[in-house]
Amino acid sequence: MTEVIQAPSPTGLLGEARGLLELPKLLLRFPDLARQPRGRGQSVLVLPGYGAGDASTAVLRAYLRFLGYRPRGWGLGRNDGEVPDLLRRVVERTEAVACAEGGAIRLIGWSLGGYLAREAARERPHVAHQVITLGSPVQGGPGATSLNRFVQLETGKSAEFMREAMRQRNRTPITVPITAIYSRSDGVVAWQAAIDDRNPTVEHIEVDGSHSGLGWNAQVYRLLARRLHKPLSA
C-alpha cells in the first residue's frame, strides 16, 4: 500500500456531525454492553486524540471502570501533536504505571493517541501487554487526515517530514498484540491510513461510525470489552 494517502473529502468531514448521535445510541445499547466480559482490576492507560485531553476519554474510562478494569487518563494535558516530546512522556507514563502495577499494562489510544500508544509499545514492549487503537493514522502522517493544516501550523513540521519520521520508525517491528479499530466513514482520518500492513501482530476490525464518535461508539465498546478480555494467544 502506498504511503501517500489522501485525506478524507470535505463532505466526509461534514459527516462527523453524526458523532453527536453516538452517545444516545450508547445509552440505548447499554443493557447489552453491561453483559460483556468483565475485567479483574487490570490497568488500562487511555490516550486522547490530537487537540484533546483526558476529558474526551471520560465516558470510555467510565465504561472500563464499570467492567472491572482500572482505567487511567494519560495525565499529560492537551495532545498538541508534538509527537517526539509526547512519545517520550507517554513512554515514561507507561513505565511508571507498569512499575506501580508490577507488570505490563494495556493501552487504548484514540486517533493520534493510538499512534502514540503503538510507538510506546514499539519502544518498550516489556511494559505493554496489549494495544487497541481507535481510528489511528499509522500510515501517511497528518497528510492523511483532515487536520493536516492545523497540525503543521501547531508543530511547525511539514507533512513530508512527519511521513519520513513514520517510515524510519517502521523499520523496527512492533511485537505487542494490536487491535486496530477503524471506520470507512471516518471523516477525519482516511481509513486506509489506519491499516497497518507491516506488523503481523495487528488485527484490523471495521466498525460503522464517525471519527469524532469512536470514543463513545457502542460497537467500539463491545469490541473493547471482548478484546481486553480475550487471551492474547487465542
72-77 long-range Cβ contacts below 8 angstroms, 24+ apart: 72/43, 72/44, 72/45, 72/46, 72/97, 73/46, 73/48, 74/45, 74/46, 74/47, 74/48, 74/113, 77/53
- What's the pLDDT at 233? 53
Model's pTM, two decimal places?
A: 0.93
Backbone angles phi, psi at 227, to 5 degrees: -75, -35
Asked if residue 39 lies in contact with residue 229, where contact means CB atoms within 8 angstroms, the answer is yes
Q: With CA atoms as reference, report the closest residue to 91 among 54, 53, 125, 129.
A: 125
Task: Name 18's Cβ contacts closer than 8 Å, sequence gap at least 6.
Answer: 209, 210, 213
Helices (H), the chain: 10-14, 19-28, 30-33, 58-67, 83-101, 112-123, 148-155, 159-169, 218-229
CA gap 110, 152 in Å, rounded: 20
Q: Give the residue carrying C-alpha cell 492537551.
A: 78
Percent of the chain with pLDDT over 70: 97
DSSP category for residue 16: G
Q: Which three cell numbers stand for residue 158?
A: 511539514
pLDDT at 234: 42
Residues of the chain with pLDDT under 50: 1-2, 234
Element (H, E) at 107: strand 105-110
Nearest to 185 by CA among 221, 212, 218, 215: 212
| pLDDT recorded at residue 18 | 86
Q: Which residue has the cell 511521513?
A: 163
DSSP-derived secondary structure letter, 68: T
Query: Amino acid identity, residue 174?
Result: I
List b or e across 35-73, with b for residues whose CB sees 16 or more CB atoms inside 10 angstroms.
ebeebeebbbbbbbbbbbbbebbeebbebbebbebbbbb
Which domains are delineated in the chain? 10-229 (3.40.50.1820)
Cβ atoms of 86 and 117 within 8 Å: the answer is no
